[in-house]
Structure 1
């Protein structure tokens, strides 16, 4: 079920026993919404990309440049596995994390996955403001972004929950996620 456009009222209280992992494209708002969500749920928040940079003691762009994407994905998988051991939290992942079959299987087995689904215009508006996205350092960054969306959206659709990430304030998107999580948990057999 996709949660989207309607104005959202204050979300019901939710008891979280599993980590909530936010997946989606770069620029979908995973970190900004994740911080809001963690604050409301009184859970720790982790940004996987930040944790990877901390563990590697260098930027993601440097890791890509020096070692390549395969090396980065292996490190990303290890960092995510470590974070999932720490108990319930809110985890914002990089855009490619859910694309890795091993990482995706681990998340689907041990967490509640939420896809923040944003359209091209919203994503481009957000990612074009910053230049630190290694996958967009191409001759045609718009075309690259469109191709990434084409490749990734069918896989992101495997997440437990889909929530629209549009131009609404991050607080409103976090409310949408809270409602979606509450609805999902309510629909699960006891």
Structure 2
């Protein structure tokens, strides 16, 4: 069983993914952290010095390597699921779960973090990116909409319950 958490930046993919992995007794991998480790640079610096194309190629390479895990929860990058080859790979490897968080919530979570988000320089541009990515995210196998003030552990339990026999 491999679960891939997808969604926009600041949706809570990593936090929820860690909780879900603990709940399911699975390994947890943050795809952005794997890419950072491969380059020895933060994601923002990879974008600045190597470009988005290089970042996306390494992201796909790291994604492909997760097939070696029998039980895995992976928090993907915000753009990972927007690539058709990545979506297909995720579909072959496991199940995708979209963490569907409203734009207003995402915006409220980012004030101090915009500098390390290479695709979030101005709210208007980020909103356009969010809107463009939504149709891709909606292709996930499952969607979870966190309730206001719902804990990551509660969200993870709802995801696990929704997976039913898949775990």
Between Structure 1 and Structure 2, the one with more helix by share is 2
1:23 counterpart = 2:34: no
Shift of 1:104: 1.1
Structure 1 unaligned spans of 5+: 1-17
Partner SS for 2:4: strand
Q: Note the residue ranges of structure 2 that are not aligned, 5 or more in a row.
A: none
Counterpart CA distance in 1 for 2:152 and 2:112 is 17
Per the alignment, residue 154 of structure 1 pairs with 135
The aligned counterpart of 2:126 is 145
Question: In structure 2, how many angstroms separate the alpha carbons of the residues matched to 1:33 and 1:74?
Answer: 25
Query: 2:117 maps to which residue?
Result: 133
**Separation in 2, partners of 1:171, 1:79:** 27
* Backbone CA RMSD of aligned residues: 1.5
Aligned length: 165
Secondary structure of residue in 2 paired with 1:115: strand
Output the TM-score relative to the length of structure 1: 0.82
Cα distance, 1:130 vs structure 2:
1.3
Tell me how far apart the structure 2 counterparts of residues 33 and 83 of structure 1 sit (CA, whole Å).
Answer: 19
Moved over 3 A (4+): none
1:171 to 153, 157, 165: 153
CA contact under 8 A between 1:22 and 1:115: conserved in structure 2? yes
Larger Rg: 1
The question of whether the paired residues in 1 share the 8 Å contact of 2:3 and 2:96 is answered with: yes
Stretch deviating more after TM superposition (157-166 or 123-132): 123-132
TM-score normalised by structure 2 residue count: 0.93
Alpha-carbon contact 2:23-2:157 (below 8 Å) kept: no
**What do the CA deviations read for 1:87-142 (whole angstroms, capped 9, x no partner)?**
221000000000111111100121110000000111111122313111012xxx22
Match of 2:59, SS state, is helix
Number of the residue aligned with 1:77: 60
Q: Decide which moves more: 78-87 or 93-102.
A: 78-87
